[in-house]
């Protein structure tokens, strides 16, 4: 099938390449010229394992093309995916829908044939309905249907999650056209037995925001218990393992530590609270404020712990920060807990050196005043404390004896509970979590 993907960021570029992989003919539309030029050459402007190979294959074969032209998009296909960003509004909790609105406003007047537009971006409940009305007003004698097909991929596993999702969700208005087309697009996955939930648009929008709210809540739950463990002298790792064996609870997303960041969970729970407020249901989601509070406290606590480890003051201290991406296998630093901590420690007078295997360029752009080192060992040179804030495999396998040769003091804080505490302690380190 021929289709267009609007917006080629983490979500859109992956979706476009995966749709080509399924055998569809895909045109990707991106407004940022630099990104477009890289993608058109088969190069991915961000780090996502496996994506460069997939993209290059389908760009070379011609199955996937990249353009900046909405006229070309309108001409090319009758099926569209909206994958543009929905960031948090500046100074507010709600989602900024200006990119989604712009995509519809630009595309719909150009359509000369009936079309189905599938929204993939994460949006507040009610958006499909609003966009549908907007599209009907803009459409010139053509029938434009808007359906919502939320995406659940995780960065770092984006291709696997797109091609082998846990489930597919479609929110469509009456009529069946969107469902018929979606079934054709995703036929390979449906043949593999992937559950396919077809519902109305508000429910589909809510599936996505509820899923992210639940994941965020699970992480903050275990971090809240970690606070109690700290106070009681208990071991949060043992608690998480033990409760995780209960199949009703499950061990996944119970890793205590620095908490969640990234371009999705933090902004999505805030947008969810804002939307519930608009709907008169603010109280129902008031617990998400506490989820957010617990999460942000993890960052403050990490700064305090570092100060404590440095003898009560960060003035003049040298701190090594290993990991700046919001999680491993990603170069994404949007709302990165690690960089947030790095910035706060620097503000308190320490000199901070950061190293990350993939996120150096993005980190430098966002926090140009921090120091950056080309390797983990170089970041640790003369450090008073080493903070592991993203659990990249290369940090997990660091040799604590070798690290000890470069640092000034042997203080390590394991912000992701990913190091072998005994091994570091045996090598003479004071190990803290
Ligand atoms: N990153 C992820 O892992 C996932 C993201 N999502 C959701 O997907 C949406 C996109 O997220 P990301 O890909 O992370 O954001 P992103 O910022 O990486 O990508 C958005 C892209 O859209 C482009 N764009 C903006 N306006 C445009 C327009 N009018 N026409 C064409 N392109 C336009 C931007 O230049 C950018 O390249 C968000 O709603 C997010 O919540 C959902 C699931 C997973
Ligand atoms: O809507 C989205 O964009 C996506 O958001 C998350 O995916 P992602 O942000 O890529 O990353 P996660 O693996 O969920 O991790 C999010 C954050 O939580 C942290 N985390 C995760 C798990 C855990 O046990 N503890 C923990 O602190 C990670 O370090 C990271 O900072 C969801 O997992 C995806 O299903 C969803 O599609």
Q: Both tokens of residue 391?
A: 């659990």
pLDDT tens-digit profile of 109-128? 999 999 999 999 999 999 99
How large is the average pLDDT for residues 48-64?
Answer: 97
Q: What is the pLDDT of residue 175?
A: 79
- Name, in order, each residue with C-beta under 8 angstroms of 311's C-beta and a sequence gap of 6 or more: none
Distance in Å, CA 331 to ligand 2 centroid: 14
Nearest CA to ligand 2 atom 25: 255
Q: What is the pLDDT of residue 114?
A: 97
Are 272 and 314 in contact by the 8 Å Cβ rule? The answer is no
Judge if pTM exceeds 0.90.
yes
On the question of pLDDT at 180 being above 90, the answer is yes
End-to-end CA distance of the chain: 51
Q: What is the pLDDT of residue 389?
A: 98
- The answer to whether the CB of 5 is under 6 A from ligand 1 is no
Q: DSSP secondary-structure letter at 241?
A: H
How large is the average pLDDT for residues 84-111?
Answer: 98
Q: Both tokens of residue 141?
A: 């004698």
Domains and their CATH numbers in the chain: 2-198 (3.40.50.720), 200-433 (3.40.50.720)
Q: What is the pLDDT of residue 366?
A: 97
Residue 311, Cβ neighbours under 10 Å: how many? Answer: 11
The yes-or-no answer on residue 18 being catalytic is no
How large is the average pLDDT for residues 179-205?
Answer: 98
Q: DSSP secondary-structure letter at 110?
A: G
Q: What is the pLDDT of residue 174?
A: 80
Task: Share the mean pLDDT of the chain.
Answer: 97
Are 42 and 63 in contact by the 8 Å Cβ rule? The answer is no
Q: What ipTM does this complex have?
A: 0.99
CA distance 297 to 143: 50
Q: Which ligand gives the minimal distance to the CA of 271?
A: 1
| Active-site pick, 229, 264, 310, 418 | 264
Atom of ligand 2 nearest to the CA of 157: 10
Beta bridge partners of 387: 321, 413
CA distance 115 to 137: 15
On the question of pLDDT at 15 being above 90, the answer is yes
On the question of pLDDT at 176 being above 90, the answer is no
Choice from 49, 84, 165, 219 to test ligand 2 binding pocket (greatest atom count within 8 A of CB): 219
How large is the average pLDDT for residues 380-402?
Answer: 98
Distance in Å, CA 150 to ligand 1 centroid: 12
Provide, rounded to the nearest whole percent, the portion of the chain with pLDDT above 70.
100
74-77 long-range Cβ contacts below 8 angstroms, 24+ apart: 74/107, 74/110, 74/111, 74/112, 75/112, 76/2, 76/4, 76/27, 77/2, 77/3, 77/4, 77/27
How large is the average pLDDT for residues 346-368?
Answer: 98
Q: What is the pLDDT of residue 232?
A: 98
Q: What is the pLDDT of residue 220?
A: 98
Distance in Å, CA 253 to ligand 1 centroid: 24
Identify the three-state secondary structure at position 139. Answer: coil
């Amino acid at each position: 099938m021929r289709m267009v993907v609007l917006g080629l960021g983490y979500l859109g570029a992956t979706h476009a390449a995966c749709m080509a992989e399924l055998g569809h003919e895909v045109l990707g539309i991106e407004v940022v010229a630099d990104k477009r030029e890289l993608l058109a050459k088969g190069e991915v402007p961000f780090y996502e394992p496996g994506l460069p190979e997939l993209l290059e294959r389908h760009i070379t074969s011609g199955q996937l093309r990249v353009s900046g032209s909405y006229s070309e998009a309108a001409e090319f296909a009758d099926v569209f995916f909206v994958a543009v960003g929905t960031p948090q509004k500046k100074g507010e909790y709600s989602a900024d829908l200006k990119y989604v609105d712009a995509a519809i406003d630009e595309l719909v007047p150009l359509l000369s044939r009936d079309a189905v537009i599938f929204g993939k971006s994460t949006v507040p409940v009610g958006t499909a309905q609003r966009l549908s009305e907007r599209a009907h007003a803009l459409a010139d004698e053509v029938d434009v249907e808007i359906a919502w097909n939320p995406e659940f991929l995780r960065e770092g596993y984006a291709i696997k999650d797109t091609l082998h999702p846990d489930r597919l969700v479609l929110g469509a208005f009456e009529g069946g056209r969107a469902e018929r087309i979606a079934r054709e697009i995703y036929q390979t996955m449906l043949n593999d037995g992937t559950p396919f939930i077809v519902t109305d648009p508000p429910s589909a929008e809510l599936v996505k925001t509820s899923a992210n709210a639940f994941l965020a809540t699970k992480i903050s739950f275990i971090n809240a218990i970690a606070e109690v463990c700290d106070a009681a002298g208990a071991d949060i790792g043992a608690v998480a393992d033990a409760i995780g064996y209960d199949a009703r609870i499950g061990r996944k997303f119970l890793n205590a530590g620095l908490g969640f960041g990234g371009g999705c969970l933090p902004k999505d729970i805030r947008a969810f609270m804002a939307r519930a407020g608009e709907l008169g249901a603010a109280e129902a989601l008031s617990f998400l404020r506490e989820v957010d509070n617990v999460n942000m406290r993890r960052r403050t606590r990490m700064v305090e712990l570092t100060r404590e480890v440095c003898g009560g003051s960060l003035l003049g201290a040298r701190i090594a920060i290993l990991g700046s991406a919001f999680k491993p296998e990603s170069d994404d630093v949007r709302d990165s807990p690690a960089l947030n901590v790095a910035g706060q420690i620097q503000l308190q007078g320490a000199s901070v050196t950061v190293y990350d295997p993939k996120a150096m360029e993005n980190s430098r752009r966002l926090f140009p005043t921090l120091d950056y080192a080309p390797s983990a060992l170089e970041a640790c040179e003369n450090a008073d404390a080493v903070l592991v804030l993203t659990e990249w495999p290369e940090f997990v396998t660091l040799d604590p004896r070798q690290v000890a040769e470069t640092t000034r003091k042997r203080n390590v804080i394991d912000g992701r509970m990913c190091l072998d505490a005994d091994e570091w302690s045996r090598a003479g380190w004071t190990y803290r979590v």
